[in-house]
Amino acid sequence: MTRVIAVANQKGGAGKSTVTVNLAVALGQAGRSALVVDVDPQFDSTAMFGLSPDEATATIADVFLGEAEAGDALVTGVAPGVDLLAGDGRMADVELTLVTQVRREEFLAEALRDVVGRYDHVLLDCPPNLGLLTVNAFLAAEEVLVPISMVDRNAYKGASTLLSTLETLRRRRVSVATLGLLRNNADPRRNTYQTLNEALPALDAPLLRAEIPMRAGFHDATTEGIPLVVRKPDGRAAEAFRELAAEIESLAPASTTSLAEAA
């Protein structure tokens, strides 16, 4: 069964793209198949694989605009076991056009319908806001993974607002569950980490055991266009992503049904 997971936080700088890319690579290394869908107009996930939108046959924007099918737009083998549906800066304009469309929240679910079943995991990298593109990801997914930067006091507010949005969607019978809160940029020696860590239980959402440590190597990996799990596979950060992948695999999938599966 395919697990479709949106990676989201309203607060920018939470590390969504870093988590999406390196988690996908860790899943691939564990023998699972993964698809990364770069919904963010900043297309950071695409860049982290060393690609630009121009290098893809088609992008997620082309799929939204009806100019390509998702299956034809896939960039295969960006890492062992990992494919990519590349991002595109035009998605900011695409979001504006969605406002006037019928069933505008369901475009992504419909676009991915024919490809999700090919993978064990589909990871949706969302924009750092709660606009129509993010809502599209929530309706296409069955679970939401919420990275929280443990060096940013505002990260708590961003996660709280996102969880409130998910609860609103659930009241409207949108079947999307919270997979868990992920502590990212974690350094337990810092006061900010300790303050946030004490506050997280109040969010009333699952708190994952795995923590992604703060490492300068993430910046180097981004600059080089090589996921850190590939660039430094023996490092503590890569190990943490493998622990995260194993923890997610050990958790029972949400009992909800995504629109992508139901379509």
Indicate whether 261 belongs to any domain: no
Indicate whether 263 belongs to any domain: no
Indicate whether 59 belongs to any domain: yes
- The full DSSP string for 95-157 is HHHHTTSTTGGGHHHHHHTTTGGG-SEEEEE--SS-SHHHHHHHHH-SEEEEEEETT-THHHH
Tokens 């190990």 belong to residue: 239
- The HSE-up count of residue 76 (CA atoms within 13 Å, CB side) is 6
Indicate whether 223 belongs to any domain: yes
Indicate whether 256 belongs to any domain: no
pLDDT tens-digit series, residues 206-247? 999 999 999 888 888 888 999 999 999 999 999 999 999 999
Are 212 and 146 in contact by the 8 Å Cβ rule? The answer is no
Categorize the per-residue pLDDT at 259 as very low, low, confident or very high, splitting at 50, 70 and 90: very low
Helix residue ranges, H only, 154-233: 154-171, 191-199, 217-224, 228-231
Q: What is the CATH number of the domain that holds 190?
A: 3.40.50.300
Number of domains in the chain: 1
How far are the Cα atoms of 74, 151, 199 from residue 140, in angstroms, in the given order? 17, 30, 30
Return the H-helix or E-strand segment holding 17: helix 16-29
- The SS3 call for residue 37 is strand
What is the pLDDT averaged over residues 126-146? Answer: 95
- Does the pLDDT of residue 261 top 60, yes or no? no
Tokens 């950060």 belong to residue: 237
Indicate whether 32 belongs to any domain: yes
Range of 28's domain?
Answer: 3-246
pLDDT tens-digit series, residues 77-120? 999 999 999 999 999 999 998 888 868 899 999 999 999 999 99
Indicate whether 31 belongs to any domain: yes
Pairing of strands 3-7, 121-125: parallel
Are 139 and 106 in contact by the 8 Å Cβ rule? The answer is yes
pTM for the whole structure: 0.93
Query: Residue 198 — left, alpha, or beta (φ > 0 → left; ψ -120 to 50 → alpha)?
Result: alpha
